[in-house]
A and B are shown apart, each in its own frame.
Chain A
Amino acid sequence: MSVLVNKNSKVIVQGFTGNEGTYHATQMIEYGTQVVGGVTPGKGGQKHLDKPVFNTVKEAVDQTGADVSIIFVPPAFAADAIMEAAEAGIKVIVCITEGIPTKDMIQVKEYISDRDCRLIGPNCPGIITADEAKIGIMPGFIFKKGRVGVVSKSGTLTYEAVDQVVKAGLGITTAIGIGGDPIIGTPTKEAVELLMNDPETDGIIMIGEIGGGMEAEAARWIKAHGTKPVVGFIAGQTAPPGRRMGHAGAIVGGADDTAAAKMKIMSECGIRVVASPAEIGVAMAEELKKAGK
């Protein structure tokens, strides 16, 4: 067991022959991920990194049995790529692309809402199940196998947390980078829920940041349904208010928006909240010990 992806996942790369796609596909293959091919419209029939290139996701799925896709196409074409993957029957779609217009993502969210697929991202580092499959851009070598799951909005802060977990003598089941955009496919709560239901995961690290109400939603869910220790950190305790969000947006988000408000709600819901990002790993080790794991 593991969450979302494992050694049996058959992965295609959309934007396979581009610079980013080529570089990260190579890294993913080296990690042991089963990359079965890629899609670059107009280059169908060619071989790239010894794998077949297809014109459409549909062809790739029909001929390789792919069930996971990772997207490296430029922002102007990324929404289209996500919808193409969903239409072709891909079950887990990981979109790395940063900078997709919000209007496009509103349409994507609507388009995939009644299709049998899960979108991770966009603007995320991807997903990794330690020692099994890396569908993302993270440095694979830091993810030692273990029993801690990670959910995070950001890339390098995830690596920081994972590194601390490993230094504390623990390891990782699956790390899910959910992405930092206003509209993402899998919110914090759903990612936490996946890990909570995973028998191989004993504890969960939840890393959020200022803006939006996803962490509060996840915290309330954990209070009602949580069965495992959760350690939380919110980045941006010192971020000035109003620099990124218009004040009308802050009203819709309610009082859950600031780091302090989110940390308070998370604590009240039984999450071990750390103020310092340097304490994430140690706190997880302590909580697991308390839980007898």
Chain B
Amino acid sequence: MNIHEYQGKEILKSFGVRVQEGIVAETPAQAVEAAKKMKTDYNSDWVVVKAQIHAGGRGKGGGVKLAKNLDEVKEKSEQIIGMQLVTPQTGPEGKLVSKVLIAQDVYYPGESETKEFYMSVLLDRAKGRNIIMYSTEGGMDIEEVAEHTPHLIFKEEIDPKVGLQAFQARKIAFNLGLSGDAFKDMCKFVAALYKAYESTDSSMFEINPVLKTSDNKILAVDAKVNLDDNALYRHADYAAMRDESEEDPTEVEAGKSNLNYVKLDGNVGCMVNGAGLAMATMDIIKLAGGDPANFLDVGGTANAETVNAGFNIILKDPNVKAILINIFGGIVRCDRVAQGVIDAYKEIGNIPVPIIVRLQGTNASEAKKLIDESGLQVYSAIQLKEAADLVTKVLAS
């Protein structure tokens, strides 16, 4: 589960990680009040107005702006709140900004130069261990750093038996070229960050940039926090941070019916039991000359109720020109699924697009007979190849 920058920072702060301070605002008036408070609490004359959406690259799309006085705070937050922010990660339609973070200016001048670093904590799947990945090249796109200067990216593997050790934190601080107070503060920062990652059951932390201030403090200027969905049951407080307005409304609705749905851009909808077979079905739609309109895994129980919910979700997408249902009946009996399709079809009424139903496995031939004799505009198939050919045929007509 993704959360907003301001929520991520709240979590980090609760574990002793120093962050760029800030206050959330939903209106320009609130933004101005927040800026006043940043002055009294942190002596920050300037503030940064940062759009709060679940996507990176916000600065590139005009979602992060410096304000040097209260008039500018009002003006910039008026521009950002309510805008449809387009970044390299949002897609061309962008995302509506409903909140901004009024954040303290941490790039103030002082005894030394400021310096930006990159740091993330994540799982190395091959090793089954967490790693801290870090780089001297902060504040920029880490994928570009990986491509052009891979020697500037370092990794530190954490032994699950003993956790992060002090020597590892020191190694990180040395590799980042720090000394003196900044070195000590980085060691503390790394230790607190890893403790936060472990304690919150996170899947990924990405702090870009980590800043060394001009007075040699280390802090997180941004915070991308991704929590492990499977562990949310033991973190009710974090689960409550979910912002459904950031998700596709159809995906949210599908989740409520226990369907795993991801919206795509194609013209052929699909409904499948099992995630692997669902991905394979999307692939076969493409090979048959179409484009998948969605990923939809109805799970182990493909009954009339789930088929009905699946139809309703797929049909919300106006791009859908055909629907392919692909069920491999193991424990689920195909004739029951077929009856479910027929019942759902009749209940919904006139489904405006052709439907191809491929049922294979337990009682497949009985299922085909039920579909063929139902009198509905439904094509039936048993073999996967036949289903693919039907997709091609339907799209051509």
**A, B in one complex:** yes
B123 touches A183 (CB 8 A): yes
Q: How far is the CB of A155 from chain B (nearest CB, A)?
A: 5
Q: Which residues of A contact B328 (CB under 8 A)?
A: 156, 159-160, 163
Closest residue of B by beta carbon distance from A102: B228
Q: Given contacts A138-B330, A157-B280, A238-B283, are A110 and B160 in contact (CB under 8 A)?
A: yes
Q: Which residues of A contact B224 (CB under 8 A)?
A: 246
Q: How far is the CB of B117 from chain A (nearest CB, A)?
A: 14
Q: Which residues of B contact A76 (CB under 8 A)?
A: 233-234
Closest residue of B by beta carbon distance from A137: B331
Query: Which residues of A (58-92) have their CB < 8 Å from a CB of B?
Result: 75-76
A106 touches B130 (CB 8 A): yes
Closest residue of A by beta carbon distance from B362: A139
Q: Which residues of B contact A41 (CB under 8 A)?
A: none
Q: Which residues of B contact A154 (CB under 8 A)?
A: 274-277
Query: Which residues of A (164-194) have their CB < 8 Å from a CB of B?
Result: 164, 167, 180, 182-183
B142 touches A247 (CB 8 A): yes
Closest residue of A by beta carbon distance from B388: A278
A248 touches B276 (CB 8 A): no
Cβ of A239 under 8 Å from chain B: yes
Q: How far is the CB of B325 from chain A (nearest CB, A)?
A: 13
Cβ of A217 under 8 Å from chain B: yes
Q: How far is the CB of A261 from chain B (nearest CB, A)?
A: 15
Q: Which residues of B contact A180 (CB under 8 A)?
A: 275-276
Q: Which residues of A contact B266 (CB under 8 A)?
A: 238
Cβ of A288 under 8 Å from chain B: no
Q: Given contacts A109-B128, A139-B362, are A248 and B122 in contact (CB under 8 A)?
A: yes
User: Beta-carbon contacts of B108-140 to A below 8 Å, as 1s and 0s?
Assistant: 000000000000101111101111010000000
Closest residue of B by beta carbon distance from A156: B274
Q: How far is the CA of A153 from the CA of B280 in the complex (A)?
A: 12
Of the candidates B143, B276, B281, the one having the most CB atoms from chain A within 10 angstroms of its own CB is B276
Q: Given contacts A139-B330, A212-B126, are A101 and B228 in contact (CB under 8 A)?
A: yes
Q: Which residues of B contact A167 (CB under 8 A)?
A: 383
Q: How far is the CA of A269 from the CA of B51 in the complex (A)?
A: 47
Q: Which residues of B contact A293 (CB under 8 A)?
A: none
Interface segment, one of A198-206, A220-228, A229-237: A229-237
Query: Which residues of B (330-383) have their CB < 8 Å from a CB of A?
Result: 330-331, 360-362, 383
Our pick among A209, A236, A238, A246 for the contact of B285 (Cβ within 8 Å) is A238
Closest residue of B by beta carbon distance from A276: B287
Interface segment, one of A7-15, A31-39, A43-51, A249-257: A249-257
**Count of chain A to chain B residue pairs whose CB atoms are closer than 8 Å in the complex:** 178
B133 touches A238 (CB 8 A): no
Closest residue of B by beta carbon distance from A158: B276
User: Beta-carbon contacts of A91-113 to B below 8 Å, as 1s and 0s?
Assistant: 00000000111110111011000
Query: Which residues of B (75-123) have their CB < 8 Å from a CB of A?
Result: 89, 120, 122-123
B331 touches A139 (CB 8 A): yes
Cβ of B395 under 8 Å from chain A: no
Q: How far is the CB of B109 from chain A (nearest CB, A)?
A: 31
Q: How far is the CA of A51 from the CA of B162 in the complex (A)?
A: 41
Query: Which residues of B (271-293) have their CB < 8 Å from a CB of A?
Result: 272-277, 279-287, 291-292
Q: Which residues of A contact B204 (CB under 8 A)?
A: 246, 248-249
Q: How far is the CA of A44 from the CA of B264 in the complex (A)?
A: 50
Closest residue of B by beta carbon distance from A279: B385
Q: How far is the CA of A208 from the CA of B146 in the complex (A)?
A: 26
Q: Which residues of B contact A289 (CB under 8 A)?
A: none
Q: Which residues of A contact B272 (CB under 8 A)?
A: 156
Our pick among A163, A213, A235, A276 for the contact of B126 (Cβ within 8 Å) is A213
Q: Which residues of A contact B281 (CB under 8 A)?
A: 277
Q: Which residues of B contact A107 (CB under 8 A)?
A: 160
Q: How far is the CA of A251 from the CA of B147 in the complex (A)?
A: 9
A275 touches B230 (CB 8 A): no
Cβ of B226 under 8 Å from chain A: yes
Cβ of B201 under 8 Å from chain A: yes
A240 touches B279 (CB 8 A): no
Our pick among B142, B231, B274, B292 for the contact of A238 (Cβ within 8 Å) is B292
A101 touches B231 (CB 8 A): yes
Our pick among A102, A214, A237 for the contact of B203 (Cβ within 8 Å) is A102
- B residues bordering A, Cβ < 8 Å? 56, 89, 120, 122-126, 128-131, 133, 142-143, 146, 153, 155, 160-161, 198, 201, 203-204, 206, 224, 226, 228, 230-231, 233-234, 262, 264, 266, 272-277, 279-287, 291-292, 295, 328-331, 360-362, 383-385, 388
If A101-B228, A157-B277, A238-B291 are given as contacts, then 18 extra A-B residue pairs at C-beta distance below 8 Å, sorted by A number, are A75-B233, A106-B129, A139-B330, A142-B361, A153-B276, A155-B276, A183-B128, A211-B125, A235-B277, A238-B285, A239-B295, A247-B143, A249-B123, A250-B143, A252-B131, A277-B277, A278-B383, A278-B384
16 contacts between A and B (CB under 8 A): A75-B230, A99-B230, A102-B228, A105-B128, A153-B276, A156-B272, A156-B274, A156-B276, A157-B280, A160-B328, A238-B266, A238-B282, A239-B282, A252-B124, A276-B283, A279-B385
In the A-B complex, the 10 residue pairs with the closest CB atoms: A154-B276, A156-B274, A139-B330, A157-B276, A101-B231, A235-B279, A277-B280, A278-B384, A156-B277, A109-B128
